[in-house]
């Protein structure tokens, strides 16, 4: 806790005048006569006690006590209250979230008003709405509609009358909803309910209900009677809260419809049985006649603003007066200007009713408080905090602020309004005394710069000067800035804002054109890179355009020089980005992508790091084979070469270069690459790479499997020849579903047309927009012939026929299982032919086919083939031990899926057996026969395969046999390889990396025996095809390791050389430079003796490496020693006062001298016996020259030292020349640490002197007052 004392000019003058000379004491360093030291309490007065703090806290806070926190400006503010019973959302746990918060946000966005909600003590909702007048009105209307409960009611009328309520084309219902401003929901015709639901305001519901009942009554077959009764007497007939009319309806069973007060109708409609209806009419007439005779009226004037208080919520006050006094109170409509209220009732009751009317009218009052409009925001407080205190205490008081008016309007119960008025007046008085405001004019274009990034500048000014600064929004284009707060803070803030504005007028703005694609890169992740630029140029404001604007203009603003520097920096950055954004695409066969990625992404990561490029691979589930490389051009080319070399090493990939004139390239590629793509797909997916347009190169590269490359080469050259002679193109159209049928199985049909005509036919790919377009390219006569053939085929396909065939019901399931997958495949392959099988459960064998005639015939043929396959289907068993099943299946079952596709068979694996070693299979019944055939299970051959090892294969016999062979070929085999035990750890590698690499490369499992077994046998398990490669790879690795062992033996030759320890630092050199150079030059390791080891000879240097290299390193060391032995050392007396000048800043000067004269110069350490002795070491002639040079320097520098010392003598005050008495420091009397000082030792048993943890200690008076 800290305290601050504020000393004003008046208090300072008073303080000065109160001082007497005796109180001012001046202590000098040489003073002998000192007065007594001050007491501890005088020097360190105690802080005031808690009580004093509380008293001072009650005093009004000063200008610094209140933090004025500005709020957003508002044109008009209204606060109103929604009682708990009328709240639509009453979940107290979700206040400020959920549906209520969403609705408020929607209202704010739609109307532009600002809403703030708070809960009053009675759990009612206080809502403060701020904004323009019309926005506030709209928002308030929405709040009432969406946050206050919408009344709803149901009215029951006979079902047959509903159509009369709806009217022709629903016109009657729409008209009714429009007239009553309600929502009327009528049950659907198939709904048995006769309840019509009406939702809206209470008044609207009453109107709508009345109209609906009128319509029903008119259509009712029962008796309907209308009774004319003056509107003024309707309340007496209905009774308080409609009780009287309810009783009559219940007793007589008659429906009585009294028009609501808002409907200007006098007739009351009765519906019911004639006798009962007559009784009801008679009773109503009796009441009417009686009231007509007995009642009189009086008219009184009540202020229009008080009418709502007389009516009460939902008209409850009127009903209450009617119930208590039997008097009806008639209020003029809200749109009328009349203030006359009419009371109708028996004369003796009118007085009581009149008293109640005035009591209700005066229970609420309207008052106003004068307050300057600029203070309204401070009265409201941040987020309405100040007002919330008043509205929570008095929730029925409505407080309204109006922009531009110097008053606040209060409305509510008289007592509450008076209390609220007093509180607001007190707040206004307090604010007026301590607040001030000023308005300054600053061009609106500078406003956002004054505000700063995220409001940094303006927030700093607000916090520093404790003021509120109101800057108009950009949309207003206003120059006026308003500052409000403490008078002194207002002036300081004004001065700083004007200075900032004047500085900005002298600033410069520069537009920098940077392509938008680089903006995100320059900004960086989470703005890191642009933050670095802003830190480098803090005075420059950098503005990037909104991404939606698609603009390339980046704006820089700030001092001219800084803007220029920042522009150059950013231009260089953009140039680097352009250079690094070169991109090339490399087509790589999909099956090799995983090898390029490597285990855990190792390969691709290595290529990225070494080539310094960004490499993007297509997603695993994507059909794309293209890898995109981005970076510098040279780096991209290097990465491309590496990726292609990996593909080349992995597969038999041939690469052929074909020379085709560059002018033909575009026509060969075709529109959007359609032509070249058709060649690539036809030739097994080879990659054809054309040179970059404009390069002038004729070389086209074809890459892929050797046979496919040759085929693609022939087609490409043939096409080029056609283009050179004369190429002709024709487009024809056919429905996309016919394309597969036209192409035929494996492209057979289209190849036949191509071979017979010599024309090339290109079908659209999935990416093409026009899916109907088929292009024919070639010589004109060939194209015309192909066009004729294709058009004939298409015409036949358009000839839709319907045919049927017989299929045995037992085969139906095969066609319709898996959501009819087989039928879907037939439809796709044969021009969208529709095949309909009979419904399941019927024994019909008739199958209907509908489509083009040729397609239907082909589909029938295909269905017949499938049936033949199904009838020829056999099931065979393949016994493979269960432990190999997972290996046979492959990753995600890929191997089994491949066999299933290749041989068109079904393969079923058995369920896994948990304990295969101990389980005994019970006999299983098959085809209704006893599996045991009456024999004992003990007679089963123990050598026969277990059930969990048997894989079931279903399909044609020859296919099943081929699939069985393929499965058996997938069973892993184990071979053993002898590898010396001492090499095992090198084969495994660091953390198993070596052995993992080999297993990934050869797709096998390598088992190295445990170290404790000391075995030389390594087991390799995998497919037979991979084992030979893996064995060869392992033996190759063994040979490499043995060669490394031999090399290590040669490298471990050791040689010792004897060198005097005093020369060791020179051989090592500064920071090891000399010895490191010898080590690198001769590829050896040099070890110096350990100084701390007493047993080790200190003059022996050990060199390890190849014998030849160690000898060369020894000679280099001895050469240095020879040179050192020729050196001499001389001591030079050099005045210690010039040592620092000769050494220079951080030793720069002395190093220069040592390098120039090739000597070593050592200065004495502090505390040395002779501080002037300097040692110079080196060759004799160099030492002599160096000594002469430093003595010359000494002479030069010493003259400067003597001059400066002489000058210092005159500058020093005489007082300092006298002997100084040792300072006692600061001394006080009666300090707490001397209060109990004595010679005796402290009391160990005293809990005060030695308190224990957790123990209660008697409070001790502290010098700084009690603890808080």
State the Cα angle at 157 between 151 and 159, rounded to 5°: 120
Tell whether the model's pLDDT for residue 274 goes beyond 50. Answer: yes
Q: 342 pLDDT exceeds 70?
A: yes
Q: What average pLDDT does range 248-277 have in this prediction?
A: 85
State yes or no: pLDDT of 1088 exceeds 80.
yes
Q: Which two tokens stand for residue 683?
A: 């030739």
- Summarize pLDDT for 1089-1138 with one digit per residue, the tens: 887 777 778 888 899 998 888 989 988 998 888 888 888 888 889 888 88
What is the percent of the chain where pLDDT is above 90? 1
CA–CA distances in Å: residue 90 to residues 87, 123, 149, 726, 1072? 6, 9, 11, 84, 80
Query: Which two structure tokens, joined as six digits, stand for 707?
Result: 């046979």
| Structure confidence by residue, pLDDT tens digits, 1188-1206 | 998 888 888 888 888 777 7
Structure tokens given for 108: 């704010």
Q: Which helix (H) or strand (E) holds 541?
A: strand 541-543
Q: Cβ–Cβ contacts within 10 Å for residue 1051, how many?
A: 16
Say what the pLDDT of residue 731 is.
81
The SS3 assignment for 1021 reads strand
User: Is 1018 strand, coil or helix?
Assistant: strand
Banded pLDDT at 503 (limits 50, 70, 90): confident
Instruction: Supply 75's token pair.
Output: 């044109």
pLDDT for the residue numbered 558: 80
The pLDDT tens digits for 83-108 are: 776 677 766 555 556 777 888 888 88
Extract the tokens encoding 337: 């200007």
- Whether the CB-CB separation of 269 and 217 falls below 8 Å is answered with yes
Average pLDDT, integer, range 855-880: 84
Buried b (16+ CB within 10 A) or exposed e, 416-449: bbbebbebbeebbeebeebbbbeebebebebbeb
Q: Are 577 and 518 in contact (CB under 8 A)?
A: yes
Number of residues that this document lists for the chain = 1268
Q: What is the pLDDT of residues 506-532, one digit of tens each?
A: 677 888 888 887 888 888 888 888 888
Give 965's pLDDT tier (boundaries 50, 70, 90): confident
Distance CA 586, CA 615 (A): 10
Q: How far apart are CA 431 and CA 228, in angstroms?
A: 64
pLDDT at 266: 85
Q: Please report which confidence band the pLDDT of residue 492 belongs to, taking 50, 70 and 90 as the band edges.
A: confident
Provide the pLDDT for residue 498.
Answer: 84
**In what helix (H) or strand (E) does residue 844 lie, and over which residues does it extend?**
none
Predicted local confidence at residue 1251, as pLDDT: 62
Helical packing angle, 748-757 and 780-798, nearest 10°: 140
Q: Sign of the C-alpha dihedral, residues 593, 597, 600, 603?
A: positive
- What pLDDT, on the 0 to 100 scale, is given for residue 939? 44
- What's the average model confidence in pLDDT over 922-932? 40
Note whether 822 and 790 are within 8 A (CB): no
| Of 118-127, 353-362, 1172-1181, highest mean pLDDT | 1172-1181
Give the mean model confidence (pLDDT) for residues 357-381: 77
The string of DSSP letters for 906-954 reads: EEEPPPPPS-TTT--PPP--BTTB-TTTT--GGGS-TTSPPGGGEEEEE
pLDDT of residue 217: 78
Name beta bridge partners: 585: 628
Tell if the pTM clears 0.75, that is, is over it: no
- Grade residue 982 by pLDDT with cuts at 50, 70 and 90: confident
Closest CA to 671 of 729, 586, 628: 729
What's residue 93's pLDDT?
52
Q: List own/partner pairs for 6-9 with CB under 8 A and 24 or more apart.
A: 6/62, 6/64
Q: How confident is the model at residue 35 (pLDDT cuts 50, 70, 90)?
A: low
Count of helices and strands (H, E) across the chain: 47, 45
Q: How far is CA 1131 from the centre of its chain?
A: 73
Are residues 614 and 583 in contact, defined by beta-carbon separation less than 8 angstroms?
A: no
Quickly tell me which residue has 């004004």 as its tokens.
Answer: 494
Of 653, 681, 677, residue with least CA distance to 595:
653
Mean pLDDT of all residues in 1161-1174: 87
pLDDT, tens digit, 9 for 90 and up, residues 994-1032: 888 888 888 888 888 988 888 888 999 888 878 888 888
Residue 481: pLDDT over 60: yes
Q: Please, what's the largest Cα pairwise distance for the chain?
A: 150
Are residues 119 and 96 in contact, defined by beta-carbon separation less than 8 angstroms? no
More confident residue, 541 or 396: 541
Measuring CA to CA, how many Å separate 253 from each of 244, 249, 273, 280?
A: 14, 5, 8, 9
* pLDDT tens digits, 641-684: 888 887 776 666 777 888 877 767 766 777 667 677 777 777 76
Q: What confidence category does residue 2 fall into, taking pLDDT thresholds of 50, 70 and 90?
A: very low
State CA 1166 to chain mean position distance.
62
Phi, psi of 156 (to 5 degrees): -100, 120
Write the pLDDT tens digit of every residue in 39-97: 777 777 776 554 443 344 344 444 444 444 554 455 788 887 777 766 777 665 555 56
Question: What is the average pLDDT value for the chain, to the nearest integer?
Answer: 78
Write out the two tokens for 834: 């529709």
**Per-residue confidence (pLDDT) for residue 1014, from 0 to 100:** 84
What is the number of other CB atoms lying within 10 angstroms of the CB of residue 783?
A: 22
Q: Give the three-state DSSP class for 39.
A: strand
Determine what percent of the chain is predicted with pLDDT higher than 70: 84
**Could you tell me the pLDDT band of residue 804, with boundaries at 50, 70 and 90?**
confident
Q: pLDDT band for position 16 (50/70/90)? A: very low
Contact present, 1059 and 1117 (Cβ < 8 Å): yes
- Gap between the Cα atoms of 730 and 1050, Å rounded: 77
Q: Which two tokens stand for residue 1050?
A: 């040669």
pLDDT digits (tens, 9 = 90+) for 377-411: 777 777 777 788 787 778 778 788 877 677 888 87
The confidence score (pLDDT) of residue 60 equals 45
Residue 889 — pLDDT band, cuts 50, 70, 90?
Answer: confident
pLDDT score, position 85: 66
C-alpha 920/C-alpha 946 separation (Å) is 9
Q: How far from the centroid of its chain's Cα atoms is residue 222's Cα?
A: 69
């Amino acid at each position: 806790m800290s305290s601050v004392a504020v000393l004003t000019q008046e208090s300072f003058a008073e303080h000065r005048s109160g001082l007497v000379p005796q109180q001012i004491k001046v202590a000098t360093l040489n003073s002998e006569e000192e007065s007594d030291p001050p007491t501890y309490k005088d020097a360190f007065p105690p802080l005031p006690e808690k009580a004093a703090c509380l008293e001072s806290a009650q005093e009004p806070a000063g200008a610094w006590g209140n933090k004025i926190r500005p709020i957003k400006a508002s044109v008009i503010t209204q606060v109103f209250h929604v009682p708990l019973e009328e709240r639509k959302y009453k979940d107290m746990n979700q206040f400020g979230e959920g549906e209520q918060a969403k609705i408020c946000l929607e209202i704010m966005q739609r109307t532009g008003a600002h809403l703030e909600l708070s809960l009053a003590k009675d759990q009612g909702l206080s809502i403060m709405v701020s904004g323009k007048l019309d926005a506030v009105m709209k928002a308030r209307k929405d709040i009432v509609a969406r946050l206050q409960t919408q009344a709803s009611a149901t009215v029951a009328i006979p079902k047959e009358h509903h159509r009369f309520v709806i009217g022709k084309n629903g016109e009657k219902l729409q008209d009714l909803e429009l007239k009553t401003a309600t929502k009327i929901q009528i049950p659907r015709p198939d709904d048995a309910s006769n309840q019509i639901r009406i939702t809206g305001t209470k008044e609207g519901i009453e109107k709508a209900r009345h109209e609906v009942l009128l319509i029903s009554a008119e259509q009712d077959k029962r008796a309907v009677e209308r009774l004319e009764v003056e509107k003024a007497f309707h309340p007496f007939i209905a009774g308080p809260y409609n009780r009287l009319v309810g009783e009559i309806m219940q007793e007589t069973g008659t429906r009585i419809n009294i028009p609501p007060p808002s409907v200007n109708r006098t007739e009351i409609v009765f519906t019911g049985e004639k006798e009962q209806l007559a009784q009801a009419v008679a009773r109503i007439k009796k009441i009417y006649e009686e009231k007509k005779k007995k009642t009189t009226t009086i008219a009184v004037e009540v202020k229009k603003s008080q009418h709502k208080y007389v009516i009460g919520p939902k008209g409850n006050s009127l009903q209450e007066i009617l119930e208590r006094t039997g008097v009806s109170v008639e209020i003029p409509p809200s749109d009328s200007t009349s203030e006359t209220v009419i009371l109708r009732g028996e004369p003796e009751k009118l007085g009581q009713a009149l008293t109640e009317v005035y009591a209700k009218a005066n229970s609420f009052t309207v008052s106003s408080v004068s307050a300057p409009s600029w203070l309204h925001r401070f009265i409201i407080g941040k987020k309405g905090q100040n007002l919330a205190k008043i509205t929570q205490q008095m929730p029925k008081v409505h407080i309204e602020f109006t922009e531009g008016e110097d008053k606040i309007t209060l409305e509510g119960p008289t007592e509450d309004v008076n209390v609220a008025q007093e509180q607001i007046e007190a707040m206004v008085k307090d604010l007026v005394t301590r607040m001030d405001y000023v308005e300054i004019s600053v061009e609106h274009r500078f406003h956002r710069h004054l505000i700063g990034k995220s409001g940094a500048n303006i927030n700093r000014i607000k916090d520093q000067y404790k003021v509120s600064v109101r800057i108009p929004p950009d949309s207003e284009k206003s120059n006026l800035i308003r500052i409000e707060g403490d008078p002194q803070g207002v002036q300081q803030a004004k001065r700083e804002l004007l200075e900032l504005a004047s500085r900005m007028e002298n600033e410069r703005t520069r537009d920098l054109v940077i392509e938008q694609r680089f903006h995100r890169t320059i900004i960086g992740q989470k703005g890191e890179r642009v933050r670095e630029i802003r830190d480098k140029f803090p005075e420059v404001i950098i503005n990037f355009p909104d991404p939606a604007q698609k603009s390339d203009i980046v704006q820089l603003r700030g001092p001219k020089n800084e803007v220029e520097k920042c522009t150059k920096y950013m231009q260089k950055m953009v140039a680097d980005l352009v250079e690094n954004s070169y991109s090339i695409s490399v087509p790589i066969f999909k099956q090799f992508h995983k090898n390029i990625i490597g285990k855990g992404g190792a390969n691709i990561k290595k290529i990225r790091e070494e080539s310094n490029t960004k490499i993007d691979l297509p997603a695993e589930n994507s059909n794309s084979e293209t890898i995109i490389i981005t970076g510098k051009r040279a780096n991209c080319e290097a990465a491309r070469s590496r990726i292609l070399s990996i593909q080349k090493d992995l597969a038999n990939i041939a690469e052929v270069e074909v020379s085709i004139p560059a002018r033909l390239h575009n026509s060969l590629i075709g529109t959007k690459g359609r032509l070249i793509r058709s060649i690539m797909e036809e030739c097994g997916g080879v990659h054809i790479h054309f040179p970059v347009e404009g390069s002038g190169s004729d070389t086209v590269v074809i890459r892929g499997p050797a046979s496919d490359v040759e085929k693609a080469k022939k087609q490409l050259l043939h096409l080029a020849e056609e283009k050179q002679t004369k190429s002709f193109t024709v487009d024809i159209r056919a429905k996309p579903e016919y394309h597969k049928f036209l192409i035929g199985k494996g492209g057979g049909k289209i190849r036949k047309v191509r071979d017979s005509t010599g024309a090339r036919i290109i079908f659209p790919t999935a990416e093409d927009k026009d899916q109907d377009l088929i292009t024919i390219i070639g010589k004109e006569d060939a194209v015309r012939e192909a066009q004729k053939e294709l058009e004939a085929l298409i015409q036949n396909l358009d000839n839709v026929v319907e045919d049927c065939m017989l299929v045995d019901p037992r085969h139906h399931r095969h066609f319709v299982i898996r959501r009819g997958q087989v039928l879907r495949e037939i439809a796709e392959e044969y021009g969208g032919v529709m095949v309909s099988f009979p419904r399941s459960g019927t024994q019909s064998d008739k199958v209907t086919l509908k489509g083009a005639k040729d397609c239907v015939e082909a589909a029938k043929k295909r269905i017949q083939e499938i049936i033949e396959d199904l009838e020829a289907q056999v099931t065979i068993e393949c016994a493979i031990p269960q432990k190999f099943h997972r290996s046979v299946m492959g990753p995600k079952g890929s191997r089994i899926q491949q066999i299933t596709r290749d041989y068109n068979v079904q393969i079923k694996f058995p369920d896994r057996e948990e304990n295969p070693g101990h389980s005994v299979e019970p006999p299983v019944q098959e085809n209704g026969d006893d599996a045991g055939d009456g024999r004992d299970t003990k007679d089963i051959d123990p050598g026969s395969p277990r059930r969990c090892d048997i894989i079931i294969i279903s399909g044609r016999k020859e296919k099943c046999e081929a699939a069985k062979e393929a499965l058996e070929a997938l069973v892993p085999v184990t071979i053993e390889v002898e590898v010396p035990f001492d090499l095992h750890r090198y084969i495994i590698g660091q953390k198993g990396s070596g052995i993992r690499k080999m297993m990934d490369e050869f797709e096998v499992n390598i088992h190295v025996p445990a170290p404790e077994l000391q075995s030389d046998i390594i087991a390799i398990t995998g497919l037979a095809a991979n084992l030979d490669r893996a064995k060869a790879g392992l033996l190759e690795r063994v040979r490499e390791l043995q060669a490394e062992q031999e090399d290590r033996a040669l490298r471990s030759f050791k040689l010792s050389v004897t060198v005097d320890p005093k020369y060791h630092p020179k051989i090592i050199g500064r920071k090891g430079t000399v010895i490191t150079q010898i080590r690198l030059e001769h590829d050896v390791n040099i070890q110096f003796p350990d100084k701390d080891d007493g047993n080790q000879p200190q003059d022996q240097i050990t060199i390890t490496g190849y014998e030849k290299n160690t000898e060369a390193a020894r000679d280099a060391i001895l050469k240095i020693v020879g040179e050192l032995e020729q050196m001499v050392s001389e001591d030079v007396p050099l005045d210690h006062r010039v040592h620092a000048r000769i050494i220079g800043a951080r030793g720069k000067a002395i190093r220069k001298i040592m390098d120039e004269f090739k000597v070593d110069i050592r200065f004495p350490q502090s505390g040395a016996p002779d501080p002037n002795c300097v040692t110079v070491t080196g060759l004799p002639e160099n030492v002599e020259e160096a000594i002469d040079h430093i003595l010359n320097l000494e002479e030069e520098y010493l003259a400067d030292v003597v001059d400066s010392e002489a000058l210092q003598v005159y500058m020093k005050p005489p007082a300092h020349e006298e002997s100084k008495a040792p300072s006692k420091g600061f001394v006080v009397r009666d300090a707490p640490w001397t209060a109990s000082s004595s010679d005796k030792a402290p009391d160990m048993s005293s809990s005060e002197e030695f308190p224990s943890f957790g123990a209660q200690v008697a409070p001790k008076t502290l010098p700084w007052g009690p603890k808080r």
